[in-house]
Amino acid sequence: MAKYVVIASSNGTVGMRAAAVVLASGGSALDAVEAGCRVVESNPEDHSVGLGGLPNLVGEVELDASITDGRTRATGAVAALKGYEHPISVARRVMERTPHVLLAGEGAARFAAEMGFEPAELLTPEAQAEWEGKLRDEYPDLEPGLLLYHEHAGLYLHLTRDPEKPAGGTVNFLALDTSGDLAGAVSTSGWYFKYPGRVGDSPIVGAGNYADNRYGAAACTGRGELAIRAVTAHSVVMHLSHGLTVRDALRRALEDANSLEDAYGTGLNLLALDPHGNHAAVSNRSGAHYVWMNEETPEPREERRKVVDAGT
């Protein structure tokens, strides 16, 4: 059995060392996944998470995140959070300081302020330029300021139909610490050009993130609506509870999600980690990867995800 393991979606590479340092020093899986996520959230070059995340239909960056504790099965999450760079840390405070699991929108922002988190401008010039460019491609004569989209967002729903625009997608971290505890963290700026207030699977515990010390932990990226409908992360862990290997549990859960019809895309990626340190990842698209580290690897290692064909 490995002393510790941390795995992540490929865009989590920049945060892997931070997570591994926590685990190598005997720290908790919870601290490790939070530390890894925070690095990604602060990376302005990743336009799918935190600072620099691509905005919604009206040009506002809304962040979703969740954290799961495999030992207690306690969870915390925030959705549609604006103005704070580290939703994963706000989610952890929700778990530890409130009787709730999920806070959303203005309530999540109020809570973040009350917990002492510093407000931040999340929309970087690069992300804003991309957003404005897409609007001007569609509407070359749009007035400066683009206020039309704030007043009449519902008229432009056709612009929301590109959920996979950010190259990296949501970030996932799963970890097993030296005490044998599992944890998961998921953070995202969500679907590019989403309708304001849209919530994906990332903050929905059981859909995009789940951890249970008895069986394993799992997390998702991609078309969040599918993971919500299929309760995908929980399904992976339940397959593990029935004795399937990590890879087979992932395959079964993704096959179930693949069976759903969806007019807006079917791309979905899963990864999982069991209590023995075994890990794997799958996707219904070719070319996807994930990264991992343990006490024997001084640098993150990248592996290709096994493809489970969506049949499309």
pLDDT at 312: 45
What separation in angstroms does the CA of 6 have from each of 13, 27, 84, 154, 312? 11, 12, 26, 41, 32
Active site residues: 170
pLDDT at 285: 92
pLDDT at 134: 83
pLDDT at 167: 43
pLDDT at 23: 98
pLDDT at 135: 80
pLDDT at 244: 98
In whole angstroms, give the CA distance from residue 161 to residue 306.
27
Residues paired with 78 in a beta bridge: 65, 103
Instruction: Pick out the chain residues at pLDDT < 50.
Output: 166-168, 312
pLDDT at 162: 59
pLDDT at 298: 92
Overall pTM > 0.85: yes
Q: Is 282 in contact with 250 (CB distance < 8 Å)?
A: yes
pLDDT at 58: 87
pLDDT in tens, 167-198: 447 999 999 999 999 999 999 999 998 999 99
Tell me, which fold does domain 5-125+160-307 have in CATH? Answer: Glutamine Phosphoribosylpyrophosphate, subunit 1, domain 1 (3.60.20)
Q: How many CB atoms lie within 10 A of CB 256?
A: 17
In whole angstroms, give the CA distance from residue 284 to residue 255.
9
